[in-house]
Each structure stands twice: as C-alpha cells, then as structure tokens.
Amino acid sequence: MTRIEPFQCVASNERERLRPSRFFRCPFAGYYLRRSIGIACICLVFLGSVNSVAGSGPSRGLDADEKKPSPVAKSDKESSEKKKDEDEKKKKEKEEDRYLAVIGGTVHTVTGSVHHGVTILTKNGKIVEIAEKVALPEGAETLDASGNHVYPGLVAVDSGGLLSGSSPGDSTNVYSLQMAIALAGGITTVASGNSAGKLTFGSVDDLVVKRDLFHKLSYDAASPKERYELRQKFEKVRQYIRELESYDEEKKLDPDAEEPDKEWLDGEYKKLLKLLRREVTASIAANSASEILAVCELATRYGFDLIVRGAVEGWTVAPQMARAGVSAIVSPRRRVRSDDRLNRPNGSTIENARIMHDHGVPIAIIPANTSITLWGLAGRDLLHLNMEAAFAVRGGLSDDAALRSITIDAARLLGIDHRVGSIEVGKDADFAITDGPILHYMTHTRWAVVNGRIAYDKQKDTLYNHIRPNGDMDAPPPDDYWPRSLGDSQ
C-alpha cells in the first residue's frame, strides 16, 4: 500500500519546487510558522492597546508628576536649548571689542611719571597700553588730546544727589543734570551712602564699583554711656576671636573639641568682627583734638582701620594720628574759630592738610558741601573738588600731594585703588582731559571718559561750550545763561 505524506495535496514535483530552503523540508514547518506569526500579531495588538492607554493618562501605580516625557517632547526640548545656545554664541561673536585711543596728550599717571605726547589705548573699558607709538586696531575710536592734559578721573570720597539709594545700579538717574555737572568738573567716581560708583552718564553698565565701603561708628564725647557700650562690644568680640583661635588649635589634637558659642554674633557684633579682622574700615566723625585722640586710642587698642571724617584740629595732633595709623577726610576751606580760653592750639587752619600729610597721615580732600548745587555760595560744592585741593596747596601742600588726595589716595581710602585713581595698564579707563593744569582755577574739563566711553564732551554739551570754545584761551567772555544754553535769541 502506498504511504501518503502529510500535506500531499500537490504534485511531488510541484512540492519540490516550493521548497526554497532546508527548513521547509520538515513536515510540520509550515504549521509551526503560521502559529508563530499568529502569536506575534496578537502580541503586537496587545502592546498597541497598552501604549494607547498609557498615553491617555498616568499609569496605574505612578503619579502624574512622575510620568516620563515622551521621546518626542524630550527631543524638542533638547533642540530648543541647542538653538538657544547657538543664538547666544552668535550674539557673542557679533559683539566686537570696543577700543578707544586717547592720542597726543600730556598724561599725568599720578603714581608714576608724566608722559608727553603719548597714546593711551583702552579695550572694553580697561587700559591696555601707554606708549608713544601704538598700533591702533581697526575700527578703534580716537580722541585727539593734543595740547591738553590727561588725568585719572577724580574720586570724591563723599557725595550727595549723584547715586541713589542702597541699590544705585537700579535707581540712579544717569541722565541727571547733577551728574553732567560733576563730569564737567572731572569727577568720574563717587562714594554715596555706603557704596562707590561711576558717573556712567547715559548708561547703567558697570556703574557700581564697590558696596559696604565703611562701618560708621559713633564715639561722641557727649555720650559717655555710648562710648562704654561700644568698648564692651569690642571686648566681647575680641574675646570670641581668642576663643575661636584656641578652638582651632585644640581641634588639631581633639576632633571632638567644642566650638565657641556664636549664636549672639549678629547685627552690630558681626560688623565689629569684620572690623577686628580688618575686612572693613571704620569711619568716625571727629573734629576737636580731644575727639581725635579718643578715636585714635580706640583704634590702637582694638587694632582696626579707621578713617576720621572732618579732623578740623588734626594739625594739632598729627603725630598721634600717624602713630595710630588712621586716615583723614578733610575740607581745607572749612573754618572753625579758635577758642582763646584754651591754653593749647585749637581751631582750624588752611595748613591742616599739609601738616597731617607731612606727618604721614593719608588724606583725602572733599568740599564742605558734597552735592552739586545750583544755588547758594558758588565754588563750595562738589563741582569744585579740584579747587578744594588747590586751597590745600595754598596752605603749603605740594601739587603732587594735592592731586593724590583727589585721585589715588582717595581711592585707597575707599578700597578701590586697584581699579581707579591712577593711569596704569590694567586699570579702568577713567580720564579727566583738561585744557590746563587741573588745580588751576581757569582750567576746564574738555572730555570725561568713564569705562572707556566718552561720558562728557564740553563742545557737545551746552553747559560750558560757550566758554572758550574749542580750547581757545583768548576767546571773549560769553554772554549766555547757565546752566543750559537757551539757544540763539531773536
């Protein structure tokens, strides 16, 4: 009897033709293949339904916040961030370096020698080169200072009405008339309140230079209780420093050493701790000899840096001030009558700045009125900062020392001499460019440069452009109104 093979429904020769591989030679291969394909289809349908449910809401057992973003959303986010980074990169590439060259002036560096006919090259607000021959970059802005004097921008250690509030970078009116007048006086940096800032007319970029300049203390002879309480606070803080130093040494031997209590170290105590660590400078108003000696004794006992504001009778105790290492802010034109009832020198003298300087006391000069005024007694406000220094020269102070008192020495008292106060490579490009010696009463500021930008141009501004226009020293006296020109009258 002939044996019939499974699936023998076609001719044997046709069956041989339909066998493409060795796999199909198994009699049951087709059956298992169809079964595997069917199972795979069922699995795909099941997985599709699960994904559909998962996409419509949070999975069971997971919170909505824990749902992972879909790969498409993640990809869109990455591409968006990548595009943002590329845009920022392109923006930076488009921003070109900003150059300013001050050419041909007589440069008074203050801390060095005087250079004639040199060029100062600035880049992005910093001085990069001072030389007779300088290769100027393409597109550099130039300022021809030939025949003029180039000084560092003047520094006022106190001011009013120029910088605003506790956050001068946000609230200062950079278009104010007072700021324009101060720039016309050659002033580029001022202290106001407890901050130092630039007079960046028309811009708030890089306005703030330093915050927390001083810690003002009151040590009034009329309040013995106040003096006693301040000394007690100093003693408590100094004792804490001793205990902290002992703890640091003990901890090297015993890791479980107990740290001194410091929960009370806040507010005034925290500021006094900074004083004793010389992280900040104290500022105390003192004018009479007895007041000055008292604050000098306090600074010597507790070892902190001190600036004496006023120091009217500093000339009578200058040696003691020098030994205490204190500095002084003085107004040479301030007048206090001497008291004939006292059997010691007292009262004010125009020689005050000279005598203190000769004994080694660092000084900064400031007018008695530290604001820009449009009323009152002319010549005694901040506009005439250079004239206040000139009066100190009349009292015997040298020209160089007087110039330093409104530039580098003033900057040192503020703790910003690494940036302003002199013309040196690496420092801020702040200049007062004048048509004569800056301590001469006839001298005008022709340009004021702040952070490498021309912030004041005498010829373009209407404040003083009618006075000796274009530096013509022989021009006739003007007939005009001040502080702003009213234009041609008909």
pLDDT tens for residues 151-171? 999 999 999 989 987 788 888
Q: What is the pTM of this model?
A: 0.78
More confident of the two residues 411 and 44: 411
pLDDT at 56: 47
Domain membership of residue 162 (yes or no) is no
State the residue for tokens 């909505």: 64
Residue 362 in domain = yes
In this predicted structure, the answer to whether residue 6 has a pLDDT above a threshold of 70 is no
Assigned domain for 359 exists: yes
pLDDT at 46: 57
Query: Residue 64's pLDDT is what?
Result: 43
**257-271, 401-415, 443-457: lowest mean pLDDT where?**
257-271
Residue 201 maps to a domain: no
pLDDT tens, position by position, 254-279: 988 999 999 999 999 999 999 999 99
CB 353 within 8 A of CB 403: no
Better-predicted residue by pLDDT, 132 or 28: 132
- As a dihedral over the C-alpha atoms of residue 20, residue 23, residue 27, residue 31, rounded to 10 degrees, the angle is -90
Beta-strand ranges (E) seen in 315-382 are 327-330, 363-365
Q: Is residue 100 part of a domain?
A: no
Whether the per-residue pLDDT at 93 is higher than 60: the answer is no
The answer to whether position 167 is within a domain reads no
Residue 301: CATH number of its domain: 3.20.20.140
Residue 470 lies inside a defined structural domain of this protein: no
- For residue 23, pLDDT beyond 60: no
Cα dihedral 107, 456, 183, 375 in deg (nearest 10): 140
Domain of residue 347, residue span: 214-419
Q: With cut-offs at 50, 70 and 90, classify the pLDDT of residue 452.
A: very high
- Mean pLDDT in residue range 133-154: 96
| Confidence tier at 37 by pLDDT (50, 70, 90) | low
24 pLDDT more than 60: no
pLDDT (tens digit per residue) in 175-217: 999 999 999 999 999 999 899 999 999 999 999 999 999 999 9
pLDDT of 236 higher than 80: yes
Q: What is the pLDDT of residue 65?
A: 46
Q: Please check the confidence at residue 356 and state whether its pLDDT lies above 70.
A: yes
Q: Which strands make up the sheet holding 306-310, listed edge to edge? A: 214-216, 281-286, 306-310, 327-330, 363-365
Domain count within the chain: 1
* CA gap 80, 89 in Å, rounded: 14
Of the pLDDT bands very low, low, confident and very high (cuts 50, 70, 90), residue 324 is very high
Q: pLDDT-derived band of residue 16, with 50, 70 and 90 as boundaries?
A: very low
Q: Which residues of 105-132 are buried (b: 16+ CB within 10 A; e: fewer)?
A: bbbbbbeeeebeebbbbbbebebbebee
- Contacts of residue 140, Cβ cutoff 8 Å, sequence gap at least 6: 99, 100, 101, 121
Strands 281-286 and 306-310: parallel
As a whole number of angstroms, the distance between CA 352 and CA 187 comes to 24
Residue at 96 is within a domain: no
Residue 483 pLDDT exceeds 60? yes
- Mean pLDDT for the chain overall: 85
Average pLDDT over residues 414-436: 97
| The pLDDT of residue 4 is above 50 | no
Residue 330 has pLDDT above 80, yes or no: yes
Q: What average pLDDT score do residues 289-307 get?
A: 97
Please provide the size of the chain in residues: 490
Residue 40, pLDDT score: 65
| Confidence (pLDDT) at 62 | 40
